[in-house]
Homo-oligomer: A and B are copies of this chain.
Amino acid sequence: MSIGLPPQKSGGTLDFYFDFISPYGYFGSLCVEDFASDHGLDVEWRPMLLGISVLKVMKLPPLPERPLMGRYHLEHAIPRHARLHGIHIARNLAAPPPNPIAAARAFCLVKRDAPQATVSFARAVLHAHWAEGTDVVSDPQELAAIAARLGAPADAVAAARDDPDAAALLRSEVDASIARGVFGSPTFIVDNEPFFGVESLPTLDLWLKRRRETGDG
C-alpha cells in the first residue's frame, strides 16, 4: 500500500456512453475506470438512451426481438461475458426492461449538482439493477435512497423523472450522443474517435498505445 499523490492523469478524457438497461453498458461500467486509469485518461460518464432514442433512429427492434442476433447475445455472449469476468446478473435478459428515463434524468441532476457522486451514483444504480435485479431505474424512491446514501440531493433525484430541468439535461445529452454517432451501449470516445462495444476495448487499448508510440494525435 502506498501513500502519495493521486494517479496523474493528463492523457485527456474518455467519454463513456452507457444506458442503465444495457447489459454491455453494465459490463463497460465495471472496467472503464481501470482501463482509463491505465492510460492516464479521465472518464466522463454520459447517459444515452438505447431503446427510447437510438433504436428509433436506426429503425431496429430491441435486441431480444432481432432474429439470430438476439439469441446470440442473450444465450451466448452476455452470459458468457458475465461468467468469464465473474459478474453476477440477477435479471432475466429476455424480459422487457423497465423504463430507464427516471434513472437517466436523476443521473443528469446528480452530475450537475453533486459531481463528486456521479460515478458512485451510476454504479450503485447499475449494481441494483443488474446484480440485485430490482427495478430501481424506474423507481424514484429507490433512486432517491441511493442518492441520499451518497450525499447527493435526494429530493431532487426523487422528483427527477418529472422535472423539466432534468428532462432538458438528458435530452441535450442524448441529442449530443446521436450527433456524435453513438448507436450502442457502451460506446467509448477519445478525441472524437468512437469505439463501440465492450469488446472494442482491446482495439481502443491498441489505438491508444499506437498513438503514444507515434506521437500521433
Binding site for B on A (CB under 8 A): 54, 57-60, 66-69, 71-72, 76-77, 80-81, 84, 178, 181-184, 193-197, 199-200, 202-203, 206-207, 210
Question: Looking at chain A's contact residues, is the secondary structure mostly helix, strand, loop, or mixed?
Answer: helix
Task: Give the oligomeric copy count.
Answer: 2
A204 nearest CB across to chain B (Å): 10
Beta-carbon contact of B80 and A203 below 8 Å: yes
A54-B68, A58-B67, A199-B199 are known; give 9 further A-B pairs, CB within 8 A.
A67-B183, A68-B182, A69-B183, A72-B181, A72-B183, A72-B194, A76-B193, A80-B203, A84-B206
**What B residues does A84 contact at CB under 8 A?**
203, 206-207, 210
**What B residues does A67 contact at CB under 8 A?**
57-59, 183
A214 nearest CB across to chain B (Å): 11
A196 nearest CB across to chain B (Å): 6
**What B residues does A197 contact at CB under 8 A?**
199
When A199-B199, A202-B202 are in contact, do A68 and B181 touch as well, CB less than 8 Å? yes
Beta-carbon contact of B183 and A68 below 8 Å: yes
Which partner residue on chain B sits nearest A73 by CB separation? B196
**What B residues does A206 contact at CB under 8 A?**
84
Complex CA gap A197/B197 in Å reads 11
A102 nearest CB across to chain B (Å): 25
A180 nearest CB across to chain B (Å): 10
**What B residues does A203 contact at CB under 8 A?**
77, 80-81, 84, 199
Which partner residue on chain B sits nearest A84 by CB separation? B206
Beta-carbon contact of B68 and A58 below 8 Å: yes
**Candidates B59, B60, B72, B195; contact of A196 at CB < 8 Å:** B72
- A-B pairs, top 8 by smallest CB distance, nearest first, are A68-B183, A199-B199, A202-B202, A58-B67, A69-B183, A84-B206, A57-B67, A68-B181
